[in-house]
Amino acid sequence: LWEREINPQILTGEAWETIARRGFDESRLFSAYIDTLKWNCVTATNPRLFQSPFRAGIRIDAYQLEPLRKALLLPRVNLFIADDVGLGKTIEAGLIARELLLRKKVHKIVVSCPPSMLLQWKDELEIRFGLTFEILDKDYVKRVRRERGFGVNPWTTHSRFLISQRLLIDEAYTGPLFDWLGTFSSGSLLILDEAHHAAPASGQKYAIDSQITRAVRDLAPRFEHRLFLSATPHNGHSNSFSALLEILDPQRFCRGVPVKPKLR
């Protein structure tokens, strides 16, 4: 509730006295408030009406709404956003994440990106969308265990995390993550930035799984919703590309089977 409120404040006794002296709002303002509540109720049930663009502190281009439109038409969000560099994949992912939170379809979010992008992702999501994320790294784990005890699972201390892709191959981090998610976590969202890093190596005829490929392959099925981002999704090898899409959506794609244009 605190995050959904606009300009939230903790009211003291003096604040209540100020409100009493000011009196009730004008009927015009109260009517606008009621209209807002009705509008939110409509958009919560209608996938063709959006909320997140109006709750984001950004100027949005029309094309950036297309991934959001497609996401809301899916029972589960399994999207690969492959826009070119500089077209705003972070904004598109943020719009989807914010919309799913507003519609109560998501309550856990994990964003995995290259180490150099962690702070940028954290700032973008907080400043533009009002979403606070914790960066789960060695320092965070130490701080949590110092404050709450060595036996606490650091993933249970928050609902939204950022983690470096390098740490996905470290069992010290993925083990507690798997415990937090279980075999399948309803209402969870995985956002994988630079998703092409999870594509199998393509030096041979058949794609070979790397450490990060195996890690993402084990992790992705535990999330109800998955969102992959990359400006270079295809490396020219169909086996590698189909293997990456299979991780995203195993119901529609199969490793080693060429991807048909109508399924893209």
Label residue 44 by pLDDT band (50, 70, 90).
Answer: low
How far, CA to CA in Å, does 226 sit from each of 20, 56, 109, 187, 189?
49, 22, 10, 11, 6
In degrees to the nearest 10, what's the CA dihedral of 42, 46, 49, 55?
Answer: 60
pLDDT digit string, tens, across residues 45-64 = 677 778 888 778 788 888 88
Q: What percent of the chain has pLDDT over 70?
A: 88
CATH T-level assignment (fold) for domain 46-263: Rossmann fold (3.40.50)
Label residue 4 by pLDDT band (50, 70, 90).
Answer: low
Give backbone dihedrals phi and psi of 60, rounded to 5 degrees, phi first: -105, 130
pLDDT digit string, tens, across residues 108-163 = 999 999 999 999 999 999 999 999 999 999 999 999 999 999 999 999 999 999 99
How confident is the model at residue 55, as a pLDDT? 77
Nearest alpha-carbon partner for 167 in 135, 194, 143, 199: 135
Determine the length of the chain.
Answer: 264
pLDDT digit string, tens, across residues 203-222 = 455 657 889 999 999 999 99
Nearest alpha-carbon partner for 221 in 103, 76, 90: 76
Can you state the percent helix, strand and coil of the chain, rounding each to 5?
Answer: 50, 15, 35
Cα separation, 63 vs 61, whole angstroms: 6
Cα separation, 197 vs 210, whole angstroms: 9
Question: Quick one: how far is CA 86 from the chain centroid?
Answer: 19
- Has residue 11 got a pLDDT over 90? no
How confident is the model at residue 165, as a pLDDT? 95
Tokens read off for 36: 């807002």
| Residue 212 near residue 198, CB atoms below 8 Å | yes
DSSP assignment letter at 159: S
Tokens read off for 12: 């003291």
How confident is the model at residue 200, as a pLDDT? 82
| Between 77 and 59, residue with greater pLDDT | 77
Domain ranges of the chain: 46-263
